[in-house]
Structure 1
Amino acid sequence: MIASFDLSEFINRYVTGRSESLLQADFESYDAELSARINGKNVLVIGGAGSIGSSYIKAILRFKVSKLVVVDISENGLTELVRDLRSSVDFNIPDDFITYPVNFGDKVFEKLFRRLGPFDIVANFAAHKHVRSEKDVFSIEAMVENNVLRARRLLDLLLECPPEHFFCVSTDKAANPVNVMGASKKLMEELIMAYADRLPIKTARFANVAFSNGSLPLGFLERLNKRQPWSCPLGIRRFFVSPQESGELCLIASIMGESGDIFFPKLDAEKDMVPFDRIAKDLLEDLGLELDACTSEEEARQKALKLSTVPASWPVYFFGSDTSGEKSYEEFFTDGEELDNESFVNLGVIKNSLKRDKAEIDMIFDKLNDLFATEEVSKAAVVEILKTYLPNFSHIETGKGLDSKM
């Protein structure tokens, strides 16, 4: 059904509206400096099998690194990454290239870090990135552990042999967060900034990566292949970057930024924010299918059962979003943050991010660890601790989660 579908072309035409990368001008401007800072370096990428991590690897392999070590908990993802890279002609794959299906919070990671290092460039993309991951106290504890507590152990490990460049990915949802995922990433930002005087740390808040792993748009294609109906919220608008742009953005941030910098793409809210329902409609049209709008999930499921071998239409259930932590708009920075909009063509930089001292970070972490160690831990208790230390955190709780929807 979608054998001839060109996903990259669809993203360029209907999602980002850009025929060339948003970062093209910045790469041209900083090409010589990027080459000087990347060529011949030893690189470690954590979470490298994911959508952004793998795109970062593809961006950095357009230069000539000496060593590339990739760590990710997804063994299958690493396998596909290797196959993808070695089946392409666009990348300078070093002779010293190896992947490990390892959790960066495990002892074995510390062993391979010390044995295979030192590393000049370290980039961390391991994260819980979905709002749906705040469904209950267990998923929240896992999210905070991955996004914050393990990041702390990584920073302490890096102090043993500091790299020239360290990057840890954030999210636009860290700006005035309304969900626990965004709050955890905001806390991660403040954690890494506490180390910015000892490590060359940079991060980036950026838009949704179009058709990334686990995203709703990619889910449309998955449902299509499985002959299942679509489900799509109405009126939820998001900024989008292409997978290529996500990797390039993080690469420029990691290499060209100054310690403590938070990068973000210069995107226009009126021109560049795209509603999910428009993506769904454009995708159906591009695939040559009519929209069959349904009034319920059950109606959509029943219609999917009756699809012909070569269908002319596809059932879609559109609904109003009512789940916890769902923000109706996106923003990259907040009032009071100092912006540098001059150094890069299509990237802005937040320069005066909050830098807590180590003692305050320790206190926050002790509160979280003590809470998780009790039998009385609850989602509300975690939210209250985060609100105490993150004044801009305004949690939206509706009692409903995305796992209850199709």
Structure 2
Amino acid sequence: MTSDVFDVEMFIKDNVTMRKSSFFASDILSSHEILNKEIADKNVLVIGGAGTIGASFIKAILKYPVRKLYVVDTNENGLTELVRDLRSSKDLNLPEVLKTYPINFNDIIFEKLFKQEGRFHIVANFAAHKHVRSEKDLFSIEAMINNNVINAKRLLDLLVEFPPEHFFCVSTDKAANPVNIMGASKKLMENIIMAYSNKLKITTARFANVAFSNGSLLAGFFERILKKQPLSCPSDVKRYFVSPSEAGEICLLACILGTSGDIFFPKLSIEDDLVSFASIIEPFLAQFGLTVDICGSEEEAKVKAANLQVNAYPVYLFGSETSGEKLYEEFYTDSEQPDMDLYNSLGVIKVKERMSIEAASLVVKQIEDFFKTNNSEKSSLVELLNAMLPDFRHIETGLNLDQKM
């Protein structure tokens, strides 16, 4: 059993987002002329392009005739599949120059590539640690903050020397009133990149969970079925969802249409668009001719999965109890005043108070010094982040997602 048993995008439309067409279709259509003007015959660099969102952005931008496309990602296998996917897809304007490189954007090799192969008119950065589970210990946290914050600033320092016409760096809804270190790291990233917004045209976007994205809980459902392992998810957590193609579209719109300092988000509503993970399990299993068998523990679920003889599939649901887990997400804070009238599907936060580049450098130095000199508990880092981010309210339970199936 594999994901090609059914159309994933169609399943998302029918059972997750409940939208028959893209949420952003009207803004894509009404903005076609300016999108084409800003993208056609331009050189594009996508960092982290092998991931779900980066690859979806690439497909969205290749609806227009770019001149050159360069894609950088540390995932060599992902880049291989990306090229196969692009060359096997219809309705994409593949450029004559399409190059992929399995390198880290913080590496000296990347700097050589950037200087030799540029100028790049459009640069989009999707390289990010995105999982809440990445805060399980200080080693994982340091890697996450290094990628999400420190490397983002180093990239901006390079871009200042060779400024693109558009720079986009992906954020997350978890950056609004963050309760986990991943969300706090992305909020710090927002603050730091906005420090450069007077020197470069910089935009970002907070958006919903991308349904069935690489590494996501929903994508893991396919792996569990393939390996005859039970499904498991929180019973009480709700999320906003977009499809992979919608994720690419919101990033494209934010990248091209926004003015420097804009934070975009989808105008999804609490009443109509929050979906529980648990509600997706039944229609998912139905695609394989299976029904739900609710189990009372992980052990019961594993035993039943090892002895499958009927179509009832073991599922373990649990109440959320891990660190940094909100029951639902939000896109902006009470102190932010989004403009809800610019676009049909998108709200825009106009960032007015921006730190200086010197202040951004000081923040990065404080973080680097912490990891150089401090080997204490996670709580020490939380204190540092609280000082940097007044809206950060870390939820600590002593449990992390690696302790769940």
Deviation at 1:226, TM superposition (A): 1.2
Distance 2:198 2:160 in 1: 11
CA RMSD across the alignment: 1.0
Aligned to 1:324: 323
Deviation at 1:376, TM superposition (A): 2.8
Distance 1:35 1:172 in 2: 28
Flag structure 2 segments of 5+ consecutive residues without an equivalent: none
Deviation at 1:377, TM superposition (A): 4.1
Aligned to 2:333: 334
- Deviation per residue, 1:49-68 (Å, 9 max, x gap): 00100000000001000000
Aligned to 1:214: 215
Deviation at 1:375, TM superposition (A): 4.7
- Deviation per residue, 1:120-149 (Å, 9 max, x gap): 000000000000000000000000000000
SS in 2 for 1:343: coil
Aligned to 2:294: 293
2:129 counterpart letter in structure 1: H
Distance 1:395 1:336 in 2: 19
Equivalent pairs: percent with the same residue?
A: 59
State the number of aligned residues.
404
Deviation at 1:338, TM superposition (A): 2.1
- Deviation per residue, 1:11-32 (Å, 9 max, x gap): 0011011000011100111001
Aligned to 2:379: 380
Aligned to 1:182: 183
> Contact 2:263 / 2:351 at 8 angstroms: preserved in 1?
no
Distance 1:369 1:173 in 2: 23
- Deviation per residue, 1:159-206 (Å, 9 max, x gap): 111000000000000000000000000000000110000010000000
Distance 2:202 2:243 in 1: 24
Aligned to 1:102: 103
Matches within 5 A, 1:237-248: 237-248=238-249
Aligned to 1:314: 313
SS in 1 for 2:247: helix
SS in 1 for 2:5: coil
1:49 counterpart letter in structure 2: A
Query: Residues 206 and 353 from structure 1, CA distance in 2 versus in 1: closer, same or farther, beyond 3 angstroms?
Result: farther
Aligned to 2:263: 262
Worse-matched range after superposition: 258-267 or 275-284: 275-284
Distance 2:65 2:401 in 1: 42
For normalisation by structure 1, the TM-score amounts to 0.98
SS in 1 for 2:23: coil
Matches within 5 A, 1:70-81: 70-81=71-82
2:73 counterpart letter in structure 1: D
Distance 1:222 1:109 in 2: 33
Aligned to 1:279: 280
Deviation at 1:225, TM superposition (A): 1.1
Distance 2:299 2:352 in 1: 48
Flag structure 1 segments of 5+ consecutive residues without an equivalent: none
- Deviation per residue, 1:222-251 (Å, 9 max, x gap): 101111111111110000000000000000
> Contact 1:338 / 1:352 at 8 angstroms: preserved in 2?
no
Distance 1:166 1:102 in 2: 20
Matches within 5 A, 1:4-403: 4-308=5-309, 311-403=310-402
SS in 2 for 1:340: coil
Distance 1:318 1:49 in 2: 32
SS in 1 for 2:64: coil
Query: Residues 42 and 274 from structure 1, CA distance in 2 versus in 1: closer, same or farther, beyond 3 angstroms?
Result: same
Distance 1:328 1:186 in 2: 19
